Chains A and B, each alone.
Chain A
């Protein structure tokens, strides 16, 4: 069947494509989409020309929910709402890793070098219809509304805790998260939910920090009173991620763990002397996998946490043509607010 998709063909240029969809698995109609900073980087052309040339044309968006239209195998019912998972397993000959990371519970398939990721090296969800394997869909319970579009962000938060080796059972007394942006908010919320410990957030903007009503907040230029911790997560990104990471390094107890989650375009200088003196370990985290999405849906099923996720929903924009789609990208690329203007699509 024919279905429209919107693809980026060069920076600031979206075009309409018509695809012939073959229904082999679950036919899904994406309904809500959210723009990620990674999408914005493609939109603004903030990647090397070689990279962009290799990737375009490509459908953007990896944060999405949808409605099942038809499932050939009968696992999902027509009309069922689902979160769309962006990580795709691919054939792997095992030559790129010493041991397969897919079976390592701290890594899993999102760290497999052969895995694909929607709106990165694989088409994203800016499509009228998609045929998706059932393992890449997670049902949304009735109590959860359009805020389910933030499931991907939440899943990244769960993945970060997984990479830090943290569970409810081994939760520390406190955890510190650097970053008052949407990722910092999400990781802090997930930490509160998953670990139940004291959550300290370090940021810059008073109006953003005021939204963290479930955590203790500190200004990054005044962290003397911030208690020391065994686990710190950097969720700042950009060039400031180094400043944040180095503050965390200074505050970590010996043997502590620093998890880096922010994306920096340039190399970031780190205080390696303190890392080695205090025997710190540094781990990276990015993206997520199915178990993280299932945890995200569980979190959203809890009203207290769902209400706090809803705060990130700045507005819902009806996108019925490519002009509306452009408008959302323009708005999001200029936005400094804590939250997102999400799209309700009907192309």
Chain B
């Protein structure tokens, strides 16, 4: 079984919007999260979807699922205080319905332009490696700075990629990585920004699925402008 896990627990604080998290903003009449869920809904290889959602918006989400005829959502889990907690909540929510050999594709709700090709390649790669990350080559030179004021180093660009989502895992692998991580005392847990970092920390080799520049994350108002402009151009 392939399960899409859509993380919609963010607050949108970097956008300045106060009335709703970014994943619930509408793009030409439809919430961002619904655009994202539709991509998983129509993929023939995705069997079920789990949405991790902030509590205050779960009722709205339920109404939208009906309105937009999203049928594959089987679980709505509570958002955690961090990305890791949200992912863990999703893994807990689905645990009785899946086995260690099933696959989970963890995706940001705020990336509505995900293509079927990316989902399919994730499924292909996760079956090959047990874990996979969606990446795009870094076309710009990436600068490393420790103090935020001067350059520390310029890593070799051809070795650099930018991480996107989905990040996909065999359930048993990501479960163990999370259990091990949360078994550590809080002050001993390494800082992780995503699920792949956590799985990589547990020593698992992670494959790469090619992403797409269009699979951008709406984090700032400029990102929203870009996504809306892209969609407007196609009208």
Contacts and interface: CB of A to CB of B under 8 A. Distances in A.
Interface string B16-52: 0000000000001010000100110110100000000
A20 B44 contact: no
Contacts of B235: 19-20
Interface of B: 28, 30, 35, 38-39, 41-42, 44, 69, 112-113, 115-117, 120, 214, 230-231, 233-235
A2 B42 contact: no
24 contacts: A1-B35, A1-B38, A1-B41, A2-B35, A2-B38, A2-B112, A2-B113, A4-B214, A18-B231, A18-B233, A19-B234, A20-B35, A67-B44, A69-B42, A69-B44, A128-B115, A128-B116, A129-B116, A320-B117, A346-B116, A346-B117, A346-B120, A347-B115, A347-B117
A17 interface: yes
Contacts of A347: 115, 117
B64 to A, nearest CB: 14
A215 to B, nearest CB: 42
A70 B40 CA distance: 13
A5 B235 CA distance: 11
A206 interface: no
Contacts of A1: 35, 38-39, 41-42
A78 interface: yes
8 shortest interchain CB distances as A-B pairs:
A1-B38, A17-B234, A19-B234, A18-B234, A346-B117, A69-B42, A18-B230, A2-B113
A29 B116 contact: yes
Contacts of A128: 115-116
A320 B211 CA distance: 12
A2 B39 contact: yes
A27 B39 CA distance: 12
Contacts of A67: 44
A83 B30 CA distance: 31
